[in-house]
Structure 1
Amino acid sequence: MSVSKFNEGNSVRDYIRDLLVENGWKFVPSNKFNRELNNPFIEEHLVNALKKLNPEIKAEPSRADEVIYKLRAIVLSVKYEGLVRANEEFSKWLRGEKSMPFGRNNEHVPVKLIDFDVVKNNEFIVTTEYKFKTQESRRTDLYLLVNGIPLVIGECKTPVRPAISWVDGAKQISEDYENNVPELFVSNVFNFATDGKEFRYGTVKSPINKWFPWRDFNKGKHSELSALQFPIKEMLNRRVLLDLLQNFVIFTTDDKKRRIKVICRSQQYDTVNKIVERVVNGKIKKGLIWHFQGSGKSLLMLFAALKLRMHEKLKSPTVLIVVDRKDLDSQITGTFSSADVPNMVPAKTISSLEQLLIQDTRKIIITTIFRFKEVEEVLNDRENIIVLVDEAHRTQEGDLGIKMRNALPNAFFFGLTGTPINKRDRNTFATFGAEVDEQGYMSKYSFEDSIKDGATRKLKFEPRLVRLHIDKETMKEEFDNLTDTIGDLEREELIKRAGRVSTFVKAPERIEMVSKDIANHYKEIIEPNKFKAMVVCYDRECCIKYKEELDRLLGKDACEIVMTVNSGEEEYKNYDRTPDEEKKVLDNFNIEEHPLKVLIVTAKLLTGFDAPILQTMYLDKPLKEHTLLQAICRTNRVYKDKEFGLIVDYIGVFDEVGKALNFDQNSMKKVIENIDEYIKEFPVALDKSLSYFQDIDRNLEGYEGLIRAQECLPNNETRDQFASDFSYLSKLWEAISPNPVLNQYKGDYRWLSQVYESVKPSSGQGALVWHTLGPKTMDIINRNIHVSEIEDNLEEIVLDEELVEEVLKNQDSQKVKEIEFKISARIKRNINKNSRFKELAQKLEELKEKYEENFKTSLNFLKELLELAKEVLRAEKETDLNEDVKTGKAALTELFNDIKSQKTHIIVERIVNDIDSIVNVVRFDGWQNTNAGEREVKRALRKTLAKYQLHKDQELFEKAYNYIKEYY
């Protein structure tokens, strides 16, 4: 019976194709189209659609050629306009925003490429293996066309290879196809990539960290192949696809002045349509949207405003965007302005807001809640006014909120918040929650949801409480002497004041101590990873004290204070900046290479400040509830190589986080990790890994010590379990390191790392389950495992005819193990130089498995082992290991010899050996074809170059990497 094979075609691509056909798409094999290979359209279908949807073209069919000529011109323009610009222009045609002089007397009339009102009037086709060729030739896995125009491209990867994932598909689209055949993407709405376990989508030129899943909010997230049904049936539903194109795609300008394309995420799509449905229905006039910090509420409001404004049944409504702070006002306005939102006007004064509403302005109005403070009358009683209130947990529930509702008595009110409050005096649920909504909100997107989707990073807490030594007896004596001349009331007041938190927090000795800790922590842990930090101080006085200390420790250019300065406050005048000056400081902070590393704040920037490069917050101020949650979430934005936001807590607020998330405590426990718990767990996990080696002397060095350790792992099952236990231990080590608490365990952990590496199969494969170790553990191995360099007399052993008889006669199991170890070491040394050694490595693993139970004393095992040793020696002789041109080391030696005379007095041999050794550790077969493999090898190379101060030379890095990619 033949064994069925699973690949990306028959397991994923065909499954998606069939799901689409079940849901109304028509499958047409790509070889059935009448087309030129350099044409992304199916023109025959496009002409039919133009005639069907446009009476003027139906009356005179030649006009279809005029439209297609215009569309082709946009496709051709991609070479000089760029893909995003060309895509933006084509999107206007897709949405029916373009016109042609096809009317009476050459009057311009809109041209329809797609019927958004009647979905069935369009033709939806899916095809596979669609080939496109200009200068380059590419073939797409899935190609989705509407009326002959390609709107979606999908790339599928196999679900059965662990080193391959959706990321490889996404990179293939964004780094290969979009660059080499950009014409294929000019009409594109979005792309998707999947490995059958995970589905992600993104727009043209989106970085990989901006590809998101289309989530099932009812059933959660699954990794089975069947879970693909949800995104395929929902996101690629014909009606939803057209809705996305018409209402949920914008083109905007990022902070680097680049034009980018943005498509909504699933929670934004779901929520906007719930808002629109509720407004159109007209019965329920409020709703609460609870989406966690960093989940894209500004864009949600933008998409909602656009769709509400365009909805025919709402008859040109007014959409009021209400925020409660100037900085958020600026952020929201910036989001809308960058996207060139039409009919948008900011109401910057009380009088301008009143005037806009009294005059019945039918636009998108952005204002702050404070501009309602003097409103005492009805400003507009129209029903099609929709108010979207940002950060609805703050002042909207008080008097200002009442005035706003009185001014707009028939309006709809939707509150958006990341941190709802549930107290008697300020209850977000009571204010915005509708009775029909389960648990009080119409839409919820939790912290855990955003982390699962990769929209934000998880948060880690590191408590570092500062305990000052207090000499109670001396203090009491001095206090009594000080107060014996004042009355009891004054004495009680003085005791209260002296006992306040501020007295201890602001003590000079404490600030000096905390500053030293911050500086050391930043220099050792944060700065090497190119992240930046924020210090949150008790008050403005503390800000200045911390800056004085940190200037001394980190340098004056490294820190800046950002604070509010009121008129006449001379002591703070040096930090009184204009909005433009402050923006310049924040822009510099966001530049990776800029010397500004640390922002010092007390209240400003704790909300509404979005700096993805900010990874660590040093918290030295008591914060509570939503203020705390909003503050710590400044660190959770996605940034390259950033795995988590870190809160270094000097004040002891961790328990308050639970209160701040008291509506979602179960999720909070899953996603907020306390490093203290890892520290408690580490010795237990260490003991478990060491328990395999209870009866051996771990001080024994060389072959003898290593062989004794390996004998404690006699079979695959035991080695497999050890690998699993050590893998878990290494993850704890990676999470805690470089915390000095690990110093006491360093010797044991280094020893275990070496044993782990020594028993790993030579081939890198085999029956055992071997896990990827973190860079810190690999560094320990690289620096400390040198056992393979000990005396290697394999040739003498092979030639010794009396060896077999002597070993068996004396039952010398250690000698057998030594031979096996030496063969393994020789194979590992040569495995990347000739494919023959990979075969020999696999043969050694099979041999060990064959005689697993008694290989140490088996005559047959020893004989076969010696035969294998002879094969290894023959392979070494047959391979010219000194042939310069064919080895990676030779290529690297040539490269570094070239730069030696030009740049520096480097020791070439040492650099090449370092690169060779560390790359051989992290590489695996086929690594060049996987995202994970490329990332690990690049990281290893950059780390090695940094050791010799060569890491900033990008050209050198690229050359070295290309050699490694070719020869390793």
Structure 2
Amino acid sequence: MKLITEKRDVQNRVIDHLQAIGWEYIPPANIQEKREYDIKEPFILEILEKKLKELNKRIITDENAQNVIRRLRLIPSTLTGNQEFLEYLRGKKTVYVEKERRERNFKLINLENPENNHFAFTKEYWFEDREKRRMDIVFFINGIPICDFQLKSPTVWEAEEEAFEQVRIYSNALPELFKYLQFYAVSEGLRLFYGPTWKYESKTFYRWKIENGFNFEKLVKTFFDRREVTETLRSYIVFMTVDEELQKYILKQHQRRAIAKIIRRVLEEKKKKGLIWHTQGAYKSLTMIVSADELKKIPELENPTVIVVLDRLELEHQIYQNFQAYGFPNIVKAESKNHLRELLESDYKGLIITTIHKFERMPKQVNERDNIIVLVDEAHRSQEGDLGNYMRGALPNAYYFGFTGTPIDRTKIGRGTFIAFGYPPDEPYLDKYTIDESIEEGTTVPLYYTLAKIELHVDKETLEEEFFRVVEEEGIGSIEGINKVIEKAEKLKAVLKARDRIDKIAKHIAEHYKKFVEPLGFKAFIVAVDREACALYKEAIDKYLPEEYTKVVYTPDYKDNELLKKYHISDEEEKRIRKDFKSADKLPKILIVTEKLLTGYDAPVLYIMYLDKPLKDHTLLQAIARINRPYVGKSCGLVMDYIGIFDNLQRALAFYSKDVEAGLIDFEKLKERFKDLMESVDKILKEMDLEDESKRIQSIIDYFFEGEKRKEFIKTFKQIQEIYEILSPDEFLRDYIEKYKLLVQIYELIYQTYNPEAEKTKIRRDILKKTENLIKENVELLHIADNLPLYEINEDIARTIKADKISQRVKIANLYKSVKVHIENKRKESPYLVSIAKKVEEIISQLRERQRSVESALEELTRIAEDIAKAEEEQKKSGLNKEEFSYFWILRRHGVKNPEKISKDISNIIAKKEHWIFNENVERELRKELYKKLLDYSGDVVKLVNELLGIDRIIRGET
């Protein structure tokens, strides 16, 4: 039975699946020939030139085709250049047509009819730029590279992370290729992940999902479906400038699904509305923007009017900028009620951005066209008062699609939203992407809440009388409405803004931030009840933290008093603060806010919200969702409640509990979970003999010899570690700290013993910051790897192993690691050893699959170790250089006569054709010469030559 390998079990399957859905496979030799053996050439020129002329008759000719290709080559090898190339792919660029004496748009790809394109891919694709690199699979449309697909064996440790890191490295090494590639994919033969090139962040690294889970064939065929790929290039890759920084996104499946449903509904014309709930942090605004763009492209709609309706002036300006940054044509912002009415009456056919308030008192039937599509952001809030009725009366035949980032509540407003945008009970939502789905896919992280000291809370009677009751009676669902309630709540404000209370909270925040948050490298929001409270918090917290740690962000008013004016900032200063806050390495670390930045602001490094403002339902979920964005090392977000609103969760959130319970969890439950997990490892610890200190390490290695046991322990340890990071340095951990240190040691031993490659890099991606600090602070943890037994690889190793008084399984683990580390350390001076590593892996794999006994595996590994020692000693005495000895070692193993002389001849032959790796013609000539040199060999000469060339690849560092 053959072993599992990347080539056999992943790459070959991918090739078969791609061919089955219409992609042409071009073998490496052929692709090299088509590139004229130039590994700096990104295009398949003959295909590109042919398709250019075919898709652009009378526009692209023999005379100007080369000029177009030259322009493509001159695109900058940057993120901005990548954006420019996407514009080429989307047909937004022009070429001068001499006969017509004018500029004409031209196509690189036929986006409307994918079947008119040439789809091809190749494997083991070499490219040279800053470095020479070989990629597993590269995809081409019409001779243009568009996607890199990195593959790993399913047996590789953290395969998808390693492949993801490889793509990032390739992008840095090959910018002249990656300026064209628009997206990448990685797979280990079980799952498929993808993301946009040039933006290698956890928040843009997505898993492609299908029903029935792990069907690799279906994953490949759906993701690389030719129409899907064309749609991705046409619509689902987005460049936008956010806070003065160019961002690149690739839409996730829930976004694509919602857009497709909206288009289908409009084209079918049977129903005229739909409600889309995509949880906060799921890039709902981006879905709206692309939906609007797609609707404008549909010819059957005859140039429709698209109206984006918002509920806040601040968001109106923000989304207007987003549409501009997206490059949306014919956008106009309704400046007033009259302006909006004029636009509607004049039959404006572009995109209108407006707030819901500008529909107030709008006459009926202002425009009765049926190709008007209204996209309403935060749909539940549009149902406050009569504004929604005015909108529908003015546009009676329009399509209405409501978007919300929060689940619809059980109040009158919630019921109104379902009626206005859905078809309850059969279809409450047109599309739904829930909090638990978002967390499961890593789009967002769960949120935990905890209540600060009781004496800092507002008394329940005041909170009920001046806040909860008023909000519910008036049906308020917006932050502006909340602010109006708070304005009138004199007693509540007096309590919240008492200087003694603010000082105590400021001190508590400073201590908590320094102990729990700053060590993680994360940032914080302080949410105060109003603008004055923001200023008071700034004054107070500056006594406990460096002044530059905090900044206040609120809207200035010319009537403000001296305290409020003290913290006024200009628009430019606010832009700088917003941008710097997103960077973990820049100040400020804490923003003090009350309304601004509580919606629409995306800063993944934000981890904790210190909440001292009463909020409810949608406003509460929207605000705390600022901390649910994924970030490196961030497993959750945390809300510290100084008001006491989380004391009664059902009072604070009028949603069905199942809609929020996965994403909003009591912090105390985290402690319970930690306790349960720590108790769950007791059984494992008892099964290992850890009392005898002289045998503890051996016992741990022996116990985890079985892969399933390792896998289960690692899974549990990572869960424990995540919670430790959140809780540390809480005194709750005191009773568990020694056991946790032991678990860290066990994890380190497992990692070092069964993943020898870990020594290639000192950075272990899965050790989080506080655990890493714990390791550094404890000598017994820091030097655990030094205690791992390693055998010295020498000619006496068999005697050493036999005399070692440990179990055979531990001997195998130690010997496996010893051989792997030895080969890695010696690979430069003794390249032939790398081929031995493959045999070692084969033995270990056979052992895991129970195709070989422990005794047989130990015997074979011992023999290999002896062979290594003998070969190295012989190499020292041979007088041959490393290349010659490597060939000599292979030749002798195959029984070739006079191997020493032939090895020198072969070394000279290969040296004269050192570029054979990149040129198929040169490789063919080299093989002919080697076959000629080995005429007297009676064995399988092809296999022998393959091994010799494989060694040469190793010598050149290509494998």
TM-score by length of 2: 0.71
Q: For residue 386 of structure 2, what is the aligned residue in structure 1?
A: 399
What is the CA-CA distance between 1:243 and the residue it aligns to?
2.4
Structure 1, gaps ≥5 residues long: 58-62, 472-496, 795-814, 850-859, 879-965
Q: Return the alpha-carbon distance in structure 2 between the equivalents of residues 73 and 52 of structure 1.
A: 19
AA paired with 2:239? F
Distance change >3 Å, CA 305–CA 437, structure 1 → 2 = farther
Q: Return the alpha-carbon distance in structure 2 between the equivalents of residues 416 and 369 of structure 1.
A: 14
**1:412-561 superposed matches below 5 A:** 412-419=399-406, 420-427=408-415, 429-435=417-423, 438-467=426-455, 505=496, 509-561=500-552
Say whether the 8 Å CA contact 2:754–2:813 is kept in structure 1.
no
Q: Return the alpha-carbon distance in structure 1 between the equivalents of residues 179 and 784 of structure 2.
A: 58
Q: For residue 680 of structure 1, what is the aligned residue in structure 2?
A: 672
**1:27-426 superposed matches below 5 A:** 27-33=25-31, 34-35=33-34, 36-38=36-38, 39-56=41-58, 64-78=61-75, 81-102=76-97, 105-106=100-101, 108-133=103-128, 136-165=131-160, 167-176=161-170, 178-213=171-206, 215-216=208-209, 219=211, 222=213, 224=214, 226-227=215-216, 229-230=218-219, 232-258=220-246, 260-419=247-406, 420-426=408-414
Q: Return the alpha-carbon distance in structure 2 between the equivalents of residues 122 and 285 of structure 1.
A: 35
AA paired with 2:162? D
Task: From 571, 596, 616, give the equivalent of 2:588.
Answer: 596
Structure 2, gaps ≥5 residues long: 460-487, 758-763, 792-803, 827-832, 848-854, 874-956
Q: Return the alpha-carbon distance in structure 1 between the equivalents of residues 341 and 768 of structure 2.
A: 60
For the residue of structure 1 that corresponds to 2:454, the secondary structure is coil
Distance change >3 Å, CA 750–CA 247, structure 1 → 2 = closer
CA deviation profile, 1:6-28 (whole Å, cap 9, x unmatched):
22222222222222222232333
What is the CA-CA distance between 1:393 and the residue it aligns to?
1.4
Q: Return the alpha-carbon distance in structure 1 between the equivalents of residues 489 and 346 of structure 2.
A: 58
CA deviation profile, 1:539-563 (whole Å, cap 9, x unmatched):
4454344333211111333333334
What is the CA-CA distance between 1:677 and the residue it aligns to?
1.9
For the residue of structure 2 that corresponds to 1:535, the secondary structure is strand
For the residue of structure 2 that corresponds to 1:56, the secondary structure is coil
Q: Return the alpha-carbon distance in structure 2 between the equivalents of residues 393 and 752 of structure 1.
A: 48
AA paired with 2:42? P
Q: Return the alpha-carbon distance in structure 2 between the equivalents of residues 345 and 470 of structure 1.
A: 45
Say whether the 8 Å CA contact 1:519–1:554 is kept in structure 2.
yes
For the residue of structure 1 that corresponds to 2:206, the secondary structure is coil
CA deviation profile, 1:793-837 (whole Å, cap 9, x unmatched):
x9xxxxxxxxxxxxxxxxxxxx9899x999999999999789899
Say whether the 8 Å CA contact 1:692–1:722 is kept in structure 2.
no
CA deviation profile, 1:845-894 (whole Å, cap 9, x unmatched):
x9xx9xxxxxxxxxx9xxx9xx99xx9xx99xx9xxxxxxxxxxxxxxxx
Q: For residue 7 of structure 1, what is the aligned residue in structure 2?
A: 5
Task: From 638, 641, 644, give the equivalent of 1:649.
Answer: 641
What is the CA-CA distance between 1:115 and the residue it aligns to?
3.0
What is the CA-CA distance between 1:515 and the residue it aligns to?
2.3
Backbone CA RMSD of aligned residues: 5.0
Q: Return the alpha-carbon distance in structure 2 between the equivalents of residues 172 and 197 of structure 1.
A: 18
**1:602-621 superposed matches below 5 A:** 602-621=594-613
Q: Return the alpha-carbon distance in structure 2 between the equivalents of residues 155 and 761 of structure 1.
A: 26
Q: For residue 740 of structure 1, what is the aligned residue in structure 2?
A: 731
Say whether the 8 Å CA contact 2:528–2:611 is kept in structure 1.
yes
Q: Which moved more, 1:132-141 or 1:595-604?
A: 132-141
Q: Return the alpha-carbon distance in structure 2 between the equivalents of residues 757 and 360 of structure 1.
A: 68
Q: Return the alpha-carbon distance in structure 1 between the equivalents of residues 592 and 706 of structure 2.
A: 53
Say whether the 8 Å CA contact 1:692–1:713 is kept in structure 2.
no
Say whether the 8 Å CA contact 1:697–1:705 is kept in structure 2.
no
Say whether the 8 Å CA contact 1:322–1:369 is kept in structure 2.
yes
Q: Return the alpha-carbon distance in structure 2 between the equivalents of residues 823 and 143 of structure 1.
A: 39
Q: Return the alpha-carbon distance in structure 1 between the equivalents of residues 202 and 784 of structure 2.
A: 41
What is the CA-CA distance between 1:323 and the residue it aligns to?
0.7
CA deviation profile, 1:139-180 (whole Å, cap 9, x unmatched):
332232233333333221222212322x3333333332x344
The structure showing larger relative contact order (alpha-carbon pairs under 8 Å, at least 6 residues apart) is 2
AA paired with 1:46? L
Q: Return the alpha-carbon distance in structure 1 between the equivalents of residues 128 and 710 of structure 2.
A: 52
For the residue of structure 2 that corresponds to 1:202, the secondary structure is strand
Say whether the 8 Å CA contact 1:197–1:227 is kept in structure 2.
yes
Q: Which moved more, 1:147-156 or 1:363-372?
A: 147-156
Say whether the 8 Å CA contact 1:71–1:90 is kept in structure 2.
no
**1:871-950 superposed matches below 5 A:** none
CA deviation profile, 1:291-313 (whole Å, cap 9, x unmatched):
11121122112211212112211
For the residue of structure 2 that corresponds to 1:631, the secondary structure is helix
Say whether the 8 Å CA contact 1:429–1:440 is kept in structure 2.
no
CA deviation profile, 1:916-961 (whole Å, cap 9, x unmatched):
xxxxxxxxxxxxxxxxxxxxxxxxxxxxxxxxxxxxxxxxxxxxxx
Distance change >3 Å, CA 753–CA 720, structure 1 → 2 = farther
Q: Return the alpha-carbon distance in structure 2 between the equivalents of residues 821 and 56 of structure 1.
A: 74
AA paired with 1:625? D
Distance change >3 Å, CA 114–CA 626, structure 1 → 2 = same
Say whether the 8 Å CA contact 2:550–2:591 is kept in structure 1.
yes
Q: Return the alpha-carbon distance in structure 1 between the equivalents of residues 519 and 605 of structure 2.
A: 13
Q: Return the alpha-carbon distance in structure 2 between the equivalents of residues 146 and 338 of structure 1.
A: 27
Q: Return the alpha-carbon distance in structure 2 between the equivalents of residues 760 and 425 of structure 1.
A: 54
Say whether the 8 Å CA contact 1:130–1:140 is kept in structure 2.
yes
Size of the alignment, in residue pairs? Answer: 790
**1:531-930 superposed matches below 5 A:** 531-564=522-555, 568-570=559-561, 572-577=564-569, 579-654=571-646, 665-666=657-658, 668-683=660-675, 685-686=677-678, 689=681, 728=716, 730-731=720-721, 732-747=723-738, 749-750=740-741, 776-777=770-771, 779-780=773-774, 783-785=778-780
Say whether the 8 Å CA contact 1:388–1:414 is kept in structure 2.
yes
What is the CA-CA distance between 1:640 and the residue it aligns to?
3.9
Say whether the 8 Å CA contact 2:701–2:749 is kept in structure 1.
no
What is the CA-CA distance between 1:315 and the residue it aligns to?
1.2
For the residue of structure 1 that corresponds to 2:638, the secondary structure is strand
CA deviation profile, 1:583-630 (whole Å, cap 9, x unmatched):
444344345444432222333332222233322101233322111110
Distance change >3 Å, CA 664–CA 14, structure 1 → 2 = farther
CA deviation profile, 1:359-391 (whole Å, cap 9, x unmatched):
211111111112222423433222111111111
CA deviation profile, 1:688-731 (whole Å, cap 9, x unmatched):
65577889999x9xxx7666998899966899979966974643
Say whether the 8 Å CA contact 1:324–1:391 is kept in structure 2.
yes
Distance change >3 Å, CA 577–CA 400, structure 1 → 2 = farther
Say whether the 8 Å CA contact 1:74–1:89 is kept in structure 2.
no
Q: For residue 483 of structure 1, what is the aligned residue in structure 2?
A: none
Say whether the 8 Å CA contact 1:309–1:319 is kept in structure 2.
yes
What percent of counterpart residues are identical? Answer: 33
For the residue of structure 2 that corresponds to 1:393, the secondary structure is helix
